[in-house]
Every structure is written in structure tokens, then in C-alpha cells.
């Protein structure tokens, strides 16, 4: 039976509240409680045609170091730094916040051994991609990493080495897991378009051409492939830009995220060119994961209707959208993409997924599957 849709999240999951912990009879440990709830929600396919992709939450929001940026920094090989007044700094010495982020990661892995005992199936790890890391972190001088080309070139290899070690530890704790990697490049549009502000705020860093961004992705993918993680097990967010789409394809990216909310329409010449590029990529074997906001009021249905409407206008049937993945996100990635939120900023707790959001996604899956069944 062909899988019509796969459901997953963006790597965040708000830790259950004390009241929820008591009501659901969960353990007091937040990492163990979160993993048990995620396994209950996404640990089993809904039916033969609706699959799920369980994930290890990279952010639970328990404190200021428990979000996606420090969780990714904790993965970087041979790298130290700290949380300072202007943001997360890469540099000599390891500070308390950086060390705490590493401890949170270790606690999550230890909880996975218990909560995912006997689990067999996909298990996704989420991290920020190298382009977003360059725009979201700072050097000892106070400049963003983006301002140092040498440091930017090092990021993909440092990230790849750390991810390889992390995935090895995941396999040791959950032997039945099939690793998948989601690299969120929430700030790639700002980096590519030259919209990331300097520390003074009076100017922005120069735009980074798409081929240079593609080279960073290529370095990362090659390193991961050499360690045994194939391109079909790596999803990268590429924004909503035709040049970045082409750069990603040239870099060997085969799975990409697509956010209907941020995509231009066919009436816009740039939008038509982008959608035609997406169609070409899909026909060439690339897969797309659709970023949707499933929260009450998140307008999940309109987002999917917009996607199918454009798909239909291009001459494709609803059935041609079968096999895609719906990736739940509360909209924070769109805010960073549009420049409304600095990639270095600590996100609000409300930007993390919770149980209600994932339950809404699960409820949306059957009608979507019926629509694309053909």
C-alpha cells in the first residue's frame, strides 16, 4: 500500500505542564515525559497509508538554553562558547550556558533509552543548518559569524562531525531507529538577500550568493554521506527562492521543505518561475515536505488548499501530491524568514509545538490523504 502522507514535527515539543504530567501519569523528568508523549502521538503509523516520523525534540523550552540554537551549538565538534549579552558566542572557553546545553542533550539521549525501548521506525534529529548558524551566532569580537568567511566555511564540517557522533549515540540507545535529519535553515533568505543586521544595527551584512550557500550545504551533505547517512534521509529548508532551490539541487539535496504561507503565487512572475522549478525538481526525484501550522487558528486547511490550488493551476492533479510529508511548525520559521525575528533571538515558549498542535495535525491527515488518494 502506498503511503499517501507522512506526519512529523519541526524538532520542538513544549514540555508537559505539571498539571498535564499529573493527569497523564507521566514521570517528573521533563525529557522522559516529553519523549513518552511524542511516542504516544507519533510512534505508530495511523494506518497503512498515513505514516508518522517520530522525532527527538531538540527543544523543550524548560529554560533559556533549551531551544534549537543552543541545542545545535552543543552538537558542534571541537567548539566552545557561551551565552553573552549580545547572544550566543563562539570562542575560547566554555561557559555555563553552553555546558548546560550539552547536559540537556545528554539527558535527552538518556531518556530516549527508556522512553523508546523497543521502538523500531524512523527517528528524526533536528538542528539548525550552517547558513542559519552563521547568521545566528557571534564571534569573540562581537561580530556575527557571518562576517568571517573562514569561520563560515568551517561550520558545515563542525556540524557534520557533531551530528555523526550524535546519531551514533542515538543508534546505541535506540537500536531499532532509522535516523532522519532535519536541518532548519530559517534564516537562509536573510543571509542570501543581505538582510542580517550587523551588531550596530545601522547596516546589514553583504548578501551571500546562492552558489556559496550551496557549497556549504554540499560540504555538509558529503560529510554525512561519507558517514552512511544518505541524501534521502536528510531534509533541508531552502527558503522560497529559485536560486536557492537550484543551489540545493546542485549540492545534492534531495529532500526540501516547502512553506505555502511564504510562497509567492503563480500571478507573480518570480512565483511562477519558482513553482516551475519545484515541479522540475519533483519530476527529477526530489521530495518536498510541507511546513504547516496545525494549531487552532493556525489555518492549516487554507495552507494546504493554497498548495493544492497552485498545483492544480500548473496542470497537476490532487493525486500528484501523494507521498508528501506534512511538517508541523507554529510559524516561527516564517517570522525569521521574513525578517520579523532575528535568528539570534531566543524564541518565545509559544513558538514550540505542543500536544494540541500535533493532535490537530493527526486529525488533518485523513481528509488530506482522502483528497490525494485519487
pLDDT of residue 168: 96
The percent of residues above 90 in pLDDT, for the chain, comes to 82
Query: Are the C-beta atoms of residues 2 and 322 closer than 8 Å to each other?
Result: yes
DSSP bridge pairs for 5: 50, 324
The model's confidence at residue 113, banded by pLDDT at 50, 70 and 90, is very high
Mean per-residue pLDDT over the chain, rounded: 94
Tell me: pLDDT of 20 over 80. yes
**Residues 39-68, mean pLDDT to the nearest whole number:** 94
The 10s digit of each residue's pLDDT in 241-274 is 999 999 999 999 999 998 888 889 899 999 999 9
**Residues 291-320, mean pLDDT to the nearest whole number:** 88
pLDDT of residue 259: 87
Query: Are the C-beta atoms of residues 90 and 82 closer than 8 Å to each other?
Result: no
pLDDT of residue 260: 85
**Residues 316-327, mean pLDDT to the nearest whole number:** 93
pLDDT of residue 57: 96
Tell me: pLDDT of 317 over 80. yes
pTM: 0.96
Give the count of domains, the chain: 1
**190: CATH:** 3.20.20
pLDDT of residue 230: 93
Tell me: pLDDT of 297 over 80. no
Tell me: pLDDT of 1 over 70. no
**Residues 180-193, mean pLDDT to the nearest whole number:** 97
The percent of residues above 70 in pLDDT, for the chain, comes to 100
DSSP bridge pairs for 367: none
The model's confidence at residue 121, banded by pLDDT at 50, 70 and 90, is very high
pLDDT of residue 337: 86
Tell me: pLDDT of 298 over 80. no
HEC states along the chain?
A: CCCCEEEEECCECCCCCHHHHHHCCCCCCHHHHHHHHHHHHHCCCCECCEEECEECCCECCCCCCCCHHHHHHCCCCCCCEEEECCEEEECCCCCHHHHHHHHHHHHHHHHHHHHCCCCCEEEEEEEECHHHHHHHCECCCCCEHHHCHHHHHHHHHHHHHHHHHHHHHHHHHCCCEEEEEEEECCCHHHHHHCCCECCCCCCECCCCCHHHHHHHHHHHHHHHHHCCCCHHHEEEECCCCHHHHHHHHHHCCCEEEECHHHCCCCCCHHHHHHHHHHHHHHHCCCEEEEEECCCCCCCHHHHHHHHHHHHHHCCCCHHHHCCEEEEECCCHHHHHHCCCCCCCCCCCHHHCCCHHHHHHHHHHHHHHHHHHCC
pLDDT of residue 4: 95
The model's confidence at residue 110, banded by pLDDT at 50, 70 and 90, is very high
**Residues 100-119, mean pLDDT to the nearest whole number:** 96
| Owning domain of residue 366 | 5-372
d(CA 138, CA 141): 8
Tell me: pLDDT of 296 over 80. no
Tell me: pLDDT of 166 over 70. yes
Amino acid at each position: 500500500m502506498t503511503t499517501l502522507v507522512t506526519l512529523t514535527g519541526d524538532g520542538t515539543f513544549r514540555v508537559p505542564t505539571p498539571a498535564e504530567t499529573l493527569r497523564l501519569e507521566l514521570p517528573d523528568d521533563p525529557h522522559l515525559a516529553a519523549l513518552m508523549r511524542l511516542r504516544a502521538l507519533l510512534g505508530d503509523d495511523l494506518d497503512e497509508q498515513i505514516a508518522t516520523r517520530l522525532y527527538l525534540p531538540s527543544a523543550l523550552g524548560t529554560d533559556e538554553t533549551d531551544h534549537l540554537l543552543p541545542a545545535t551549538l552543543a552538537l558542534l565538534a571541537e567548539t566552545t562558547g557561551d551565552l553573552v549579552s549580545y547572544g550566543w558566542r563562539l570562542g575560547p572557553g566554555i561557559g555555563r550556558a553552553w555546558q548546560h546545553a550539552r547536559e540537556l542533550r545528554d539527558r535527552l539521549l538518556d531518556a530516549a533509552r527508556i522512553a523508546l525501548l523497543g521502538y523500531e521506525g524512523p527517528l528524526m534529529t533536528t538542528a539548525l543548518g550552517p547558513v542559519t548558524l552563521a547568521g545566528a551566532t557571534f564571534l569573540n569580537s562581537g561580530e556575527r559569524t557571518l562576517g568571517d568567511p573562514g569561520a563560515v566555511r568551517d561550520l558545515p564540517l563542525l556540524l557534520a562531525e557533531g551530528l555523526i557522533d550524535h546519531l551514533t549515540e542515538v543508534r546505541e540507545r535506540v537500536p531499532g531507529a532509522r535516523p532522519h535529519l532535519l536541518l532548519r535553515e530559517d534564516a537562509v533568505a536573510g543571509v542570501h538577500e543581505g538582510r542580517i543586521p550587523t551588531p550596530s544595527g545601522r547596516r546589514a551584512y553583504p548578501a551571500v550568493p546562492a552558489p556559496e550557500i550551496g557549497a556549504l550545504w554540499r560540504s555538509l551533505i558529503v560529510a554525512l554521506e561519507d558517514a552512511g547517512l544518505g541524501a534521502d534521509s536528510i531534509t533541508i529548508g531552502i527558503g522560497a527562492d529559485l536560486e536557492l532551490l537550484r543551489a540545493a539541487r546542485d549540492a545534492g539535496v534531495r529532500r526540501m521543505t516547502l512553506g505555502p504561507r511564504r510562497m509567492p503565487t503563480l500571478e507573480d512572475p518570480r512565483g511562477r518561475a519558482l513553482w516551475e522549478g519545484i515541479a522540475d525538481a519533483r519530476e527529477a526525484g526530489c521530495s518536498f515536505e510541507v511546513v504547516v501550522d496545525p494549531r487552532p487558528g493556525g489555518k492549516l486547511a487554507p495552507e494546504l488548499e493554497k498548495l493544492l490550488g497552485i498545483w492544480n493551476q500548473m496542470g497537476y492533479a490532487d493525486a500528484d501530491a501523494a507521498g508528501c510529508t506534512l511538517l508541523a511548525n507554529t510559524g516561527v520559521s516564517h517570522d525569521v524568514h521574513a525578517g520579523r525575528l532575528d535568528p539570534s533571538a531566543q524564541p518565545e515558549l509559544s513558538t514550540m509545538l505542543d500536544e494540541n498542535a500535533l493532535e490537530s495535525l493527526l486529525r488533518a491527515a485523513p481528509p488530506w490523504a482522502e483528497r490525494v488518494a485519487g
